[in-house]
Structure 1
Amino acid sequence: MSLFTSDRERRLWFWTLAVVLAIYATLGLTPRLAGALRDSDQLQAVLFIVAMFLVGATVVTQGLKLRPGGAEIGVALGIAAVYLMLFVRMALAERSHLIEYGVVAVFIHEALRERARQGRRVPVPAFLAVVAASLVGVLDESIQVFLPNRVFDPRDIGFNVLAGLMAVLASFILTWARRRGGNFRRNWDR
């Protein structure tokens, strides 16, 4: 029996591993990068523009596959507004947790959903994805105990759990909006 149920599941687990390794590989570099970002408003602006470009590119490429309906666009804008309001109120380090562990949680969630679609038993994929992403975050913080320029911070574990929960919930709501969108459009025309 194969470890993966499909090529898509294998790719999702590969990307999950790649993101986790990138997070762990930059543990020693992160304090220096955060210091540079705090000291340079221009660098923050450039990184913000690059991040927005990447997000825009993702949205456009996904939008070319399936055209979103009005309800779906409304839900996506609402989710974006919630994230934006959180980002404005958070320090740079906490923002990075929301991005990093949100991505990890979404990849895990999609891999588990793909596994379930292929007929394997996966009880509550959303819950399992949040728990798994949170455990990756606990390991991240535990590694920091051994790094001279880092410190174990239980609040960061809380941010990792929040990031996983928010990302999986956003994914779930967007999927729900996509499914409801067809009904919404049909009912709107009546």
Structure 2
Amino acid sequence: MSLFTSNRERLLWFCVLAVMVAIYSTLGLAGRLAEVLRERDLVEALFAFGFLLVLVTILGSAMKRRPGRREIWVTIGVTAVYGMLLLRVFLSPQERTHLIEYGVVAVLIYHALIERRRNGRNVPTPALLAVLLTVLLGWLDEGIQAFLPNRTYDVRDIAFNVLAGLMAVVASQALAWARRRRG
């Protein structure tokens, strides 16, 4: 029996691994990188650029598949919520980063689990499992930070990982719902 049910599932899990390696590999550098970005007043511009990239990705996806009205409205709603959190709410750059990083992780895990279920494997609640796995990976991230001299274990960061996972999976489910009900 193969570990993966399809090439798509394998790719999604590989992407999860790649994102987690990227996150964990910056643990020692994150403080210095944030400092350099602050010194050059690039933090806000970088987040705005990241948000713009997300918008372009969403629009590119929409152009491929002529979305219905519900999908457009759900996309606008999701974009507004993320935009408010990332661009307007007074979160530190690290907290914003958690929302992005672990949101991506959650969506990738969720879609990998959905693909697995679609191919006949028993995955009882993909959404809940995706959030739990995301939280576990974020908790591991914080656990590693407890042992690094320039980092600290922060329960608040774990809370942001939970929020990121929940928001991303709920947004993904809402978009899937809207796609199923074209119109």
Answer yes or no: same fold by TM over 0.5.
yes
Determine the structure 2 residue equivalent to 1:54: 53
1:68: Cα distance to partner?
1.1
CA offsets per residue over residues 37-95 of structure 1, 9 Å max, x none?
22222x23542454244324422432243111122111111111111222221111100
**1:35-50 residue pairs with structure 2 within 5 A?**
35-41=35-41, 43-44=42-43, 46-48=45-47, 50=49
CA offsets per residue over residues 129-148 of structure 1, 9 Å max, x none?
00000000000000001111
Determine the structure 2 residue equivalent to 1:161: 162
Provide the identity percentage: 60
Supply the AA of the counterpart residue of 1:51: G
1:102: Cα distance to partner?
0.3
Give, in whole Å, the separation in 2 of the partners of 1:57 and 1:166: 20
**1:93-172 residue pairs with structure 2 within 5 A?**
93-172=94-173
Q: Which has the larger radius of gyration?
A: 1
Supply the AA of the counterpart residue of 1:6: S
**Which stretches in structure 1 are left out of the alignment for 5+ residues?**
186-190
More displaced, 52-61 or 14-23?
52-61
Give, in whole Å, the separation in 2 of the partners of 1:70 and 1:9: 29
Supply the AA of the counterpart residue of 1:75: V
Root-mean-square deviation (CA, aligned residues, Å) is: 1.4
Give, in whole Å, the separation in 1 of the partners of 2:58 and 2:85: 21
Q: TM-score, normalised by structure 2?
A: 0.93
When the two structures are aligned, how many residues end up with a matched partner? 181
Supply the AA of the counterpart residue of 1:74: W
**Which stretches in structure 2 are left out of the alignment for 5+ residues?**
none
Give, in whole Å, the separation in 1 of the partners of 2:40 and 2:99: 22
Decide whether the 8 Å contact of 2:43 with 2:93 is kept in 1: no
Q: TM-score, normalised by structure 1?
A: 0.90
Supply the AA of the counterpart residue of 1:99: I
Supply the AA of the counterpart residue of 2:164: A
Give, in whole Å, the separation in 2 of the partners of 1:15 and 1:155: 26
Determine the structure 2 residue equivalent to 1:18: 18
Supply the AA of the counterpart residue of 1:9: E
Give, in whole Å, the separation in 2 of the partners of 1:139 and 1:172: 26
